[in-house]
Amino acid sequence: MAKKKRRNKSRSKPDSAVPSQAQAPNKAQGAPTGPSFPGKKTTRLLDHAAWPPLLLVALAAVLYIQTLRFGYALDDNSVISSNRWVQQGLGGVLPLLESSYWEGFFAGFATYYRPLPMISYALEFELFGFDPGVSHGINVALYAGTAALVYALLHRITRSRGASGLGTALFVLSPLHVEVAANIKSRDELMALALQLGVLLIGVDLAKSTRLSKVARGWRVALALLCMLAALLTKENALITVALLPLTLWCGTTASPKAVAGWSAALTLPPLLPYFIQRYRVTGHVLKVQGEGGELLLNNAIWAAQDWSESAGMVFWIFADYGKLLLWPRPLIWDRSLGYIPIADLSDPRALLGLVLTLVLAGLLIWQLPKRSLWGWSLGWMAIAYAIPSNVVVQVVGSTMAERYLYLLTVGFCGGLGWGCAKLAERKGRWVWVMGGALALLWGSLSLERIPNWQDTSYLVEADYPKSPGNPRITEAFLGLQIRRLTLATSGSEKRAIRAKMQTALQTTKALILEDERRYGLLAPGMFWSAGSAAFSDQDWPQAREHFQALVRLSPEHFRGWWRLGYSCFELQDYPCSSAAYHQAVTHRPKQGFAPQDDVLLQDYYFNLCLVEQTLGAWQESLESCEGALYWEPNHARATAGMGIAHQMLGNQAEAERFYEEAFALDPSLRPTVTP
């Protein structure tokens, strides 16, 4: 009977994680003041309750302050400095609202719709020009502000200053966040999470408070709806707020199921309709985010699977690898695609581990969620956040695995670790906090080691290539970096050292392809590009043509390969080959004057095509090509002269004379050579 009474007593005791409104605050837990929590209010700004979030904000700022001297890296060029809408400043705001994410660079590469981060770049340009230091500073401020929001959310649902502080410190120091905090392009991740946390905080406060006036409640609802809409316009994954809010209200408050459902629907559903309408207007799709070339294996390794066993095996292999990265975040690399990821079926040990881990965590979630416990919240948060990068609900586009995909998930993971330390410390003593602090220090040291690699693309590629020899994107970037250095090298010894490094990399690449062509076959385009570029640099035109022809057979959209093939064919006086290659180059190149890692402007793509067509006597086609060059560069003197030549050969003498005079005015040295 005694045992039965104790069980009944434990059942009737409120969950310590979700105290009722009538429950007295625990001073040791540091219950916050304000209308949502009983207790004495304070008027001092630096009251002890305010110190933890202030310290965490300072920790985040100090950790990433060094990024203010960093430049642009990876997609920063295409999203910011080479984006034609961003380059218009305030004038680009409306086009950004009416265009897809990549349209300002690729002219419609994908159906992402993320106007708010793009508008922030345009406003930056209007005020400061292209200054990566300013952009990094804004990202650091967003990351630091997010730390305060994470602490506020954890504190509201745990009512434990220690659990909230440790959980947020782990979140701030996680090496998995370096890509998000140190890469300007990842501002969409920073903004989306901050706005989602805003919705959750308001939801928790509304569900807990019974004393707010109708006006105060209305203002909070309006602010939550605004945050929800802004989050959706920042990044598509904000849609999961629809699931995160009821989870948080269920596990973090004592609100009734009816109240949980009501507040969740009221704060998240109304913005969905205008968002979907606008998204459909702009992209032509309600939810699709896959663009042209999205089926390429380089974008999603799971498309390499040939049956359900391989597909499932790769999904669970990735899940197990993510699990390892959460606790031991090494290696840290900016891309994880086929090559890094094996083609594994369900017999693979790592895949089996991922399957077992999935089943165990699912069982724990089913066990804990009805109890409204914080373990249920942590597991549920991670499950919901992982739904997007899992490749189960949707297929990931861009990169199969990435550290940035865990940014949202780590709120639940780190919050669970902090809560676990707090509960364990109640039984085992303060040494548990020492262990939690040691983990935070370890993660912080790994972050400090990783952050400098994001100074620019060159640093990043040099740092990541040795850790991922089978990764096609990183390998191609490494070989491309060596080619650029070879072009700039002045001494013979420097050139020999670069060639030796390239040769070693090419030999390693070739050996991996021979070892497992299915897994490492995507390394071949980078290998042909590098070998062809080396021959191109040496003006070995037959070898260059051979390598570039092999490249474009494997990668038909490789515009730089097509351009160099056209140039090589022109030097070999194979003009039909040159014309066909230049046509393909113009077709596939991003519709922007400058493209990352491309030292040839778009107007010169068109002008070279114009020259080849004039050599072939295709005067009408050459006229159109020169017009393309002048569209991107109205003062292109040689293209203007080309227009004159084409008009003259077509019998339009008056037009020819007009273009000749314009060409002479732009470049007087053309006068003796413009007429055929």
Model-level pTM?
Answer: 0.80
- Residue 122 counted as domain residue: no
In a domain, 541, yes or no: no
Angle at 208 (CA atoms; ends 206, 212), nearest 5 degrees: 55
650's CB contacts (< 8 A; 6+ apart) are 619, 620, 623
Tens-place pLDDT, residues 272-324: 999 999 888 887 777 765 544 434 666 778 888 888 899 899 999 999 999 99
Q: What gap in Å lies between CA 611 and CA 535, rounded to an integer?
A: 23
201-234 confidence digits (pLDDT tens): 999 999 888 787 888 888 999 999 999 999 999 9
Q: Which residue is associated with the tokens 């900016």?
A: 334
Give the residue numbers spanning the domain of 241: 194-282
| Cα–Cα dist 447/649, whole Å | 64
Between 549 and 112, residue with greater pLDDT: 549
Residue 94 domain-assigned (yes or no): no
Residue 557 sits at φ, ψ, to 5 deg, of: -100, 10
pLDDT above 50: residue 543: yes
- Rounded Cα–Cα distance for residues 673 and 247 (Å): 74
Q: Give the pLDDT confidence of 230-285 residue by residue, as tens digits.
A: 999 999 889 999 999 999 999 988 989 999 999 999 999 999 999 999 888 887 77
- Range among 105-119, 283-297, 403-417 rated most confident: 403-417
Q: Report d(CA 376, CA 58) in Å as an integer.
A: 31
Q: How far separated are the first and last CA of the chain, in Å rounded?
A: 110
Is the CB of residue 603 less than 8 Å from the CB of residue 595? Answer: no
Question: Helix, strand or coil for residue 305?
Answer: coil
- At residue 60, the 3 state secondary structure works out as helix
Helix (H, G, I), strand (E, B) or coil at 574: coil
- SS3 of 516, please? coil
**Cα diameter, the chain:** 112
* CA atoms of 667 and 488, how far apart (whole Å): 28
What is the Cβ-side half-sphere exposure of residue 141, based on CA atoms within 13 angstroms? 6
Highest mean pLDDT among 21-25, 34-38, 44-48: 44-48
> Residues 234, 117: contact at Cβ < 8 Å?
yes
Q: Is 360 exposed, middle or buried (0-12, 13-18, 19+ CB in 10 A)?
A: exposed
Tell me if 258 sits within 8 A of 264, measured CB to CB.
Answer: no
List the structure tokens of 395: 């297929």
**Looking at the predicted structure, is the pLDDT value of residue 47 above 70?**
no
Residue 28: per-residue pLDDT = 38
> pLDDT > 70: what percent of the chain?
87
Look-up: residue for tokens 């490249």? 551
CB atoms within 10 A of CB 574: 16
Print burial letters for 65-91: b (CB count within 10 Å at least 16), e (below 16). ebbeebbbbbbbbbbbbbbbbbbbbee
Write the secondary structure of 599-616 as one string of H (helix), E (strand) and C (coil). CCCHHHHHHHHHHHHHHC
Reported as a single tens digit per residue, the pLDDT across 151-193 is 999 999 988 888 899 999 999 999 999 999 999 999 999 999 9
Helix spans in 269-340 (H):
272-283, 308-327
> Taking all residues of the chain, what is their mean pLDDT, rounded to a whole number?
84
Any domain includes 274: yes
SS3 track for 111-164: CCCCHHHHHHHHHHHHHHCCCHHHHHHHHHHHHHHHHHHHHHHHHHHHCCHHHH
DSSP 1: -
What is the arithmetic mean of pLDDT over 655-662?
87
Cis peptide before 331 (omega within 30 of 0): yes
| Segment 361-406, tens digit of pLDDT | 999 999 999 999 999 999 999 999 998 888 887 777 667 888 899 9
d(CA 124, CA 132): 10
Residues 168, 162 contacting (CB under 8 angstroms): no
Classify residue 268: in a domain, yes or no: yes
pLDDT at residue number 84 = 77
Inter-residue contact 231 to 192 (CB < 8 Å): yes
User: Please, what sign has the CA dihedral across residues 27, 29, 34, 35?
Assistant: negative
Q: Is residue 510, in this structure, part of any structural domain at all?
A: no
Structure tokens at 621: 């086609």
Between CA 77 and CA 596 the distance in angstroms is 6
Is the pLDDT confidence value at 442 over 90? Answer: yes
Q: Mind listing the pLDDT tens digit for each residue in 394-403? A: 777 667 888 8
Residue 254 belongs to some domain of the structure: yes
Q: Is residue 638 part of a domain?
A: no
Count of domains observed in the chain: 1
Task: Report pLDDT for 224.
Answer: 94
Give the closest residue to 579 by CA, choosing from 598, 595, 596, 565.
565
Selection from 389, 387, 377 nearest residue 417 by Cα: 377
How far, CA to CA in Å, does 274 sit from each of 271, 414, 466? 6, 34, 47
Answer with the residue of higher pLDDT: 339 or 429: 339
* Beta partners for residue 645, in sequence order: none
Residue-wise pLDDT for 602-650, tens only, equals 888 888 888 898 888 888 888 888 888 888 888 888 888 888 888 888 8
Helices marked H in 539-652: 541-554, 559-571, 575-588, 602-615, 619-632, 637-649
Residue count of the chain, please give it: 676
Among residues 125, 247, 144, 228, which one has the least CA distance to residue 190? Answer: 144
Tokens at residue 658, please? 């007009």
The predicted structure's pLDDT at residue 589: 82
Residue 15 has a pLDDT of 40
At 447, list the tokens: 């972050």
How big, in percent rounded to 5, are the helix, strand and coil portions of the chain? 70, 0, 25
